[in-house]
Amino acid sequence: ETGVTQTPRHLVMGMTNKKSLKCEQHLGHNAMYWYKQSAKKPLELMFVYSLEERVENNSVPSRFSPECPNSSHLFLHLHTLQPEDSALYLCASSQDITNTEAFFGQGTRLTVV
Amino acid sequence: GIQVEQSPPDLILQEGANSTLRCNFSDSVNNLQWFHQNPWGQLINLFYIPSGTKQNGRLSATTVATERYSLLYISSSQTTDSGVYFCAVFGGATNKLIFGTGTLLAVQP
C-alpha cells in the first residue's frame, strides 16, 4: 500500500479528448510533483507544487494543465494531446521542496491515439 | 544543471550473484535516493542516502559526497530484483530531483 495513489492506472485517449489524472497523498507532505517518463528517456520533472502554489514549470506545453486544490491532491488536466505525449506519468510527494525524501505513486500509463 | 550518470546501463546476472551499480553526479548534492522501478512502473524507495552507508537486507548503499558518487550493492540476487534501478539527486540551486538514466537489471533463474 503506497502513501501516494494515482488514478487511473491506464488511460487511452484521442487527440481531441479532455481527461484528468489524479494524485492523492496520505503522508502529510507539503510538496507534490508531476514527472513524465517516456520510453528510453530519463524521468522528466514537469511541475512542482509547494503548499498548493506552483513553484516550478519545466517548460511544459500548455496542453498539460496542473491543479493543486490542497496539499493532499494534485491533478493534471490533459487536452488536445499528441501521440508523442504517450508516456508513464508519475506523481510524487515530499515533506517540502528542500532536500527531503520523495515518494512516488504507481503511475498512470497514458496512450494518445 | 547537475548531470547524473549511471553505470552499467544494462546488467544480466544469474540468480545468487552479487552486483554493484554506480551513480556519478557532477555537482554537490543535498539528497540522493535509489529507486527500483518494478515491471508495472512504480518507483520503490530503496535508500535515502545523501552520505554514508546504509543496509537493508540484501541491499546496501554507500554515498561518498565529496567524490560525487554513490554505489548500490545487491547480494545474492533473486529474479524479483529484476527491473530498472535509478539514482536521483537533489542539489544545486534548484527545487528538482534529477534522475539518472537507470540500470536495467535482469536476473535469470
In angstroms, the CA A71 to CA A84 distance is 30
Residue from the list A42, A99, A101 with its beta carbon closest to the beta carbon of B99: A42
Give me the pLDDT at residue B97, please.
87
CA distance A101 to chain B (A): 6
Size of interface A-B (CB pairs under 8 A): 55
Residue from the list A43, A56, A109 with its beta carbon closest to the beta carbon of B95: A56
Q: Which residues contact A41 (CB under 8 A, 6 or more apart)?
A: none
In angstroms, the CA B36 to CA B86 distance is 6
pLDDT tens digit at each of 113 positions of chain A: 569 999 999 999 999 999 999 999 999 999 999 999 998 788 999 999 998 888 877 789 999 999 999 999 999 999 999 999 999 999 999 998 886 899 999 999 999 99
B7-28 pLDDT, tens per residue? 999 999 999 999 999 999 998 8
